[in-house]
């Protein structure tokens, strides 16, 4: 049986098809769409243009599912729709136009499903912190023995940070300090439990792309690890808006050229707050956590 799981994020609408046959679950197709929904806001409402972008993208993905004979489609939204004032209006329009029901995940639910995704992979230690950095928010789980102890959502993501705090393409050193301070302040406001660990486990495309950037720049030999010591070096190296600094970002991922450094700044802030030494890059997504629950509930 084919399942399609769509994650409507603040910057990207992520679409993934899974095949579940004879008890075996496998990811078979990924088809992500960059939409930047967070940029279509006015007075904290998704604009008519933003609603049109959402409808057009979902319609395209539904057509894709129909052509591939996907039997079950699931649609979820995170901070992209969770934090807007006209959420119910948007949900009603999508239901009316496309007959699609979108489930809005709370920050805590998003963190839980993100954490669930590490069941797909092996990690070096069964304790530490996990973060899923999105466009509008960042979900953090503190865990021991592979069991979450606390899960909260930091209301800052890469696109939100870029839109609010970055004046050009790359944040200057002063802007970097300000962003790190803002993220650390949000962490303190959320009153996380006291915790520290060697590893910060990062899931999602933003962090996977960061590892590609570090490898491209010649930092780190392990394909899954970013050393926090190297983070400061890269932040300093890429703190001026020059053509020379744009080139590596463009070569790694031209669509995320403006969000790579904000992602790195969120990591730096979390590392400072929780005494993290390394980032372990987990090549899994929120959808991978969602599908496990979907399959379990379907049994």
pLDDT (tens digit, 0 to 9) for every residue of the chain, 299 residues total? 999 999 999 989 999 999 999 999 999 999 999 999 999 999 999 999 999 999 999 999 999 999 999 999 999 999 999 989 999 999 999 999 999 999 999 999 999 999 999 989 999 999 999 999 999 999 999 999 989 999 999 999 999 999 999 999 999 999 999 999 999 999 999 999 988 889 999 998 899 999 999 999 999 777 799 999 999 999 999 999 999 999 999 999 999 999 999 999 999 999 999 999 999 999 999 999 999 999 988 86
Q: Is the fold of 2-104 the same as that of 122-286?
A: yes
Tokens describing residue 45 = 């409402």
- Which two three-digit tokens encode residue 143? 């865990």
Predicted local distance difference test score (pLDDT) of residue 223: 79
The pLDDT of residue 129:
96
Domain spanning 122-286: CATH 3.30.420.150: yes
Q: How far apart are the first and last CA of the chain?
A: 13
Res 221: pLDDT: 72
CA-CA-CA-CA torsion sign (232, 234, 237, 239): negative
Q: What are phi and psi of 152, to 5 degrees?
A: -140, 165
Distance CA 260, CA 10 (A): 15
**Homologous superfamily of domain range 2-104:** ATPase, nucleotide binding domain (3.30.420.40)
pTM higher than 0.75, yes or no? yes
pLDDT at 196 (0 to 100): 83
Would you report the helix, strand and coil content of the chain in percent, each value rounded to 5?
45, 25, 30
User: Per-domain residue ranges for the chain?
Assistant: 2-104, 122-286
Structure tokens at 264: 């790195």
Spatial neighbors of 34 by CB under 8 A, at least 6 apart, are: 11, 12, 255
Give the 3-state secondary structure of residue 219.
coil
Task: Quote the DSSP letter at residue 121.
Answer: S
Give the total residue count for the chain: 299
């Amino acid at each position: 049986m084919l399942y399609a799981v769509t994650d409507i994020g603040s910057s990207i609408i992520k679409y993934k098809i899974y095949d579940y046959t004879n008890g075996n679950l496998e990811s078979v197709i990924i088809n992500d769409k960059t939409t930047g929904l967070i940029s279509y806001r006015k007075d904290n409402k998704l604009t008519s243009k933003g609603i049109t972008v959402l409808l057009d993208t979902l319609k395209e993905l539904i057509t894709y599912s129909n052509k591939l004979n996907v039997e079950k489609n699931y649609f979820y939204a995170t901070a992209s729709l969770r934090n807007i004032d006209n959420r119910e209006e948007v949900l009603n329009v999508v239901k009316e136009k496309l007959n699609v029901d979108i489930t809005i995940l709370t920050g805590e639910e998003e963190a839980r499903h993100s954490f669930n995704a590490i069941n797909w992979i092996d990690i070096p230690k069964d304790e530490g912190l996990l973060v899923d950095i999105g466009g509008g928010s960042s979900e953090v789980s503190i865990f021991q023995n592979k069991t979450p102890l606390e899960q909260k959502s930091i209301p800052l993501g890469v696109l939100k940070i870029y839109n609010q705090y970055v004046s050009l393409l790359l944040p200057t050193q002063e802007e970097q300090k300000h962003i790190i301070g803002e993220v650390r302040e949000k962490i303190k406001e959320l009153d996380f439990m006291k915790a520290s660990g060697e590893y910060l486990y990062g899931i999602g495309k933003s962090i996977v792309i960061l590892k590609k950037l570090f490898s491209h720049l010649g930092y780190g030999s392990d394909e899954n690890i970013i050393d926090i010591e190297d983070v400061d070096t890269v932040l300093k190296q890429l703190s001026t808006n020059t053509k020379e600094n744009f080139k590596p970002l463009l070569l790694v991922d031209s669509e995320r050229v403006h969000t790579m450094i904000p992602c790195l700044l969120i990591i730096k802030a979390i590392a400072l707050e929780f005494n993290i030494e390394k980032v372990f890059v987990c090549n899994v997504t929120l959808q991978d956590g969602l599908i496990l629950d979907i399959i379990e509930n379907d049994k």
